[in-house]
Structure 1
Amino acid sequence: MRFPAPAISPLYTARRGLSTSVARRVPLLISPKEYKELPRATTLPLDVSWHMPNSPRSAIAEYLSGPRMPGAKRFDLDEVADLALESNPHGLGHMLPTKEVFIEAARKLGIQDDTHVVLYDTIGIFSSPRAAYTFKTFGHDKVSVLNGGLPRWIAEGGEVETGEVQQSGAIESEYKGGQGPKRDWVRSYEQIVENSEKNPSDTSFEVVLDHRPLARFTGEAPEPRPGLSSGHIPNSSPLPFLSYLNPADDKKPYTSFKSLDELKKVLVDGVGGEDKFRELLQKDQGVVFTCGSGMTAAIGWLANELLREKEGKAFKTALYDESWTGYALRQESKIVKGNA
């Protein structure tokens, strides 16, 4: 697959009404067609696929054997993570790395400070928003998620590679990274507990949206991680991550984000209706996304950022990085069963 490299892609200018002086801005979400319009020299596709611990699929094995996007490199969210026993005593997966770990990974992949990173996964929309959150948290703003991921790329006629990964010859970069990590984008266990004990009418209370399936939130279904109790954090609300997505079907074998209007309605309903939605925006009151392990929580984060990108107004948000796994592992945690 080789595309002509326009001096400035229409995706940067005509589509967004931008001048060449601000052509460095990139959209958060792009289609396969839009990907093909990007300049090859400064664009890097990254496979950021991840599968649930009870899944028989292996993201790395699938990447190595293919199919994969031509020229794609592998960014493993469980390896580019905080693996230190001191800061991650429970051994949780894909916890945000230190800045040093993130920069080292970017350099090994040949990422430059001006590289436009395009992230995709093999489900459609699943783990790619978490990778976008990671890059953005560390100040790399030239990042887009491929809506529909690799399955949509294939369904719409995109060429693929299979077999042995071809070495591109790229050398380790001098990537410096941004000013991250943005600590106000992350919530700790202690902050979540403190928030859960507040009165929801308190203006300092942050709305916590849990993106796990509803039956796990209520405690009716077990967690996929053996021995972990289901249930939910006190004063949190359920908003299953599939609410944001168009489901896969026979004609479109991939999940993808719903329209902007639909995403807005999902968030409006999730926080308690139109009045509450406006109140949160007016008071700049925080919204925290959580899930089973901090992966699909980023789908809500990205939906909110898409609203910010298109409408200029969105919630002040953060992710509870440990999410339910870190919370429920602690014996002292208060676990609520039943509906919110």
Structure 2
Amino acid sequence: MPEREPPDTSRLVSTEWLAAHLGAPNLVIVDGSWHMPATGRKGREEFLKAHIPGAVFFDIDAVSDVASPLPHMLPSPTLFRAAMESLGIGRQMKIVVYDTEGLFSAPRVWWTLRAFGAVDVAILDGGFPKWLAEGRPTESGEAPYLPARFDATLDHDWVASIDDVAARVADRRAQILDARPAERFRGEAPEPRAGVRPGHIPGARNLPVSELVKDGRLADAATIRRAVEAAGIDPAKPVITSCGSGVTAAILWLALDTIGAPPVALYDGSWTEWGASDRPVATGPAD
């Protein structure tokens, strides 16, 4: 098993930087767009119509454990390696991820690549909306790619199971931070997936990602820190991020990482798993 190299500390690259490096060797641009099923939007269809020149499409639903009843759970290292190599994504390459919302699903792809050992992964600041607003070039159709090697080794410490979360909540070894909208966290709004109860994990805290992302861009560090502390989270103590199905939990990861307090894990099954299980559920504000 190859040793994991220290990850690159940069998290965002500008549209100016990316425009200046289009076509650079050892650079791969990844469209990681994913949309909630209720929107009716299809990331791949939109990618084929327009994307940043040279970009490849990372399908969050396809690059997953398709045997799991839960949506887009992490795949095996073997499957992940095959998927990345089929896209021309190498473990040692400079990888820049973006999405069509600005900052929504790209952090999930960023987190996934890093969890499987990618060395240098960044997110495009402002994403595709900023790129388009600046009149930068696009292309359509599938982009050609060169062969690449991705020796995938999943860092299991980054991923929390339902039993991990239950155990850490029970003995107060970690704080749970939920990215869902407040109405869903409190149980006042129905869940978008059938069979999932409303509410939240007992003891969890709520920080909707709408408080951290404005106009498709991540808030500054001071704003993030204030929001985290207002949610009742001590960034100096272990945090597990969660959401509806493991996508926006990665935005919380990115935000906490930005203030120098990276989470100990992301709950991959998130509320879709917990809310459909027989585990206890809390409603109302965080207790």
Global fold match (TM > 0.5): yes
Q: How many pairs are equivalent?
A: 279
Aligned partner of 1:94 in structure 2 is 72
Q: Which of the residues 152, 157, 162 maps onto 1:189?
A: 162
Aligned partner of 1:147 in structure 2 is 125
Structure 1 segment 245-324 matched on structure 2, within 5 A: 245-246=213-214, 248=215, 255-272=216-233, 276-277=234-235, 281=236, 285-308=237-260, 314-324=261-271
Q: Which of the residues 41, 50, 54 maps onto 2:25?
A: 41
> 1:69 & 1:316 partners in 2: Cα distance?
31
> 1:266 & 1:126 partners in 2: Cα distance?
18
Matched, 1:71 2:70: no
After superposition, the C-alpha distances for 1:147-195 in whole angstroms (9 at most, x for unaligned) are 2111111112211113x334x2x34323324xx3111111111111222
Structure 1 segment 194-233 matched on structure 2, within 5 A: 194-198=167-171, 200=172, 205-233=173-201
Contact 1:288 1:320 in 2 (8 A): yes
Segments of structure 1 that go 5 or more residues without pairing to the other structure are: 1-23, 249-254, 309-313
After superposition, the C-alpha distances for 1:256-291 in whole angstroms (9 at most, x for unaligned) are 11112212222222334xxx44xxx2xxx3100000
> 2:91 & 2:175 partners in 1: Cα distance?
34
For 1:267, the aligned partner's letter is: V
Aligned partner of 1:328 in structure 2 is 275
For 1:338, the aligned partner's letter is: G
Contact 1:118 1:144 in 2 (8 A): yes
1:225 deviates by 1.3
Give the secondary-structure state (helix, strand or coil) at the position aligned to 2:224: helix
Alpha-carbon RMSD across the aligned residues, in angstroms, is 1.8
Contact 2:253 2:262 in 1 (8 A): no
TM-score by length of 1: 0.78
**Larger C-alpha radius of gyration, 1 or 2?**
1
Give the secondary-structure state (helix, strand or coil) at the position aligned to 1:54: helix
Higher mean alpha-carbon deviation, 320-329 vs 217-226, is at 217-226
TM-score by length of 2: 0.91
Matched, 1:126 2:94: no
For 1:184, the aligned partner's letter is: D
